[in-house]
Structure formats: structure tokens, C-alpha cells
Amino acid sequence: MGSMVIAKNLITRRQREILTAMAESEAREDFEDAEIACDRGVCFLGDTRVAKRTVFALLRLCLVRDETEGTGHLERYTINEHGRRQQPPPEILKSMTKMLNKAAARV
């Protein structure tokens, strides 16, 4: 299984929508709407609600970075270079390929 197929299947349609919206806002220099803000588990990208599990998935795939400052309740996440390309970094893809190959060998 090629890493591009894995990359395509790792990112859900909703995650792609979020990444696209973040990249478009950033390109317009609308930085307020280019970041996901979470307060006590409730997250928004601009006026759009984003599930916290979606934010965690984007973090696990290294597509956004945590920009949280201080010890307050507000968490901030911005898109990174991998998120703009909508492709996880090679080391994540390599790890996922190994894991999928191991799982396939067991079947």
C-alpha cells in the first residue's frame, strides 16, 4: 500500500474541510478565522464549531500545531506546512504503513 493512499485515507473529509478553511483564511490574512480556538473542550474555527476529537486527530497527524500560551483555558491551534499540503509528515506515513502491513500480515 503506497504512502499516498495511506495519506489520503488518514484524513477525513471533515478534517480536509477544516484544513482548507484554515489555509484559505490564512491566505486572506484573516488570522482570527485561521486558527482553531478551544475553551474547556468547546472548539471553533471562526464561527464554525469543530469537534475536539477532530482537533486531536489533526494534532496526531501533525497537521496543526498547538499555539496555546500561558495557563489559561483558551487553547489555540494553527495550520502548519503539512496541514497546508493536507499530507502528514513522512515519518507519520512510514509509521502508519508499518502498522497496516503488520495488521495485514496477521489476517
Of 67, 89, 77, the closest CA to residue 18 belongs to: 77
Q: Is 82 or 102 the better-scoring residue by pLDDT?
A: 82
Say if residue 69's pLDDT is above 80: yes
What would the mean pLDDT of 83-105 be, rounded to a whole number?
Answer: 81
Provide the mean pLDDT of the chain. Answer: 86
Say if residue 82's pLDDT is above 80: yes
Domains of the chain, by residue range, sit at 3-106
Q: How far is CA 92 from the centre of its chain?
A: 13
The span from the CA of 29 to the CA of 88, in Å, is 24
* Buried residues in 12-26 as b, exposed as e (16+ CB within 10 A): eeebeebbebbbebb
What would the mean pLDDT of 64-89 be, rounded to a whole number?
Answer: 89
What would the mean pLDDT of 6-35 be, rounded to a whole number?
Answer: 88
pTM: 0.78
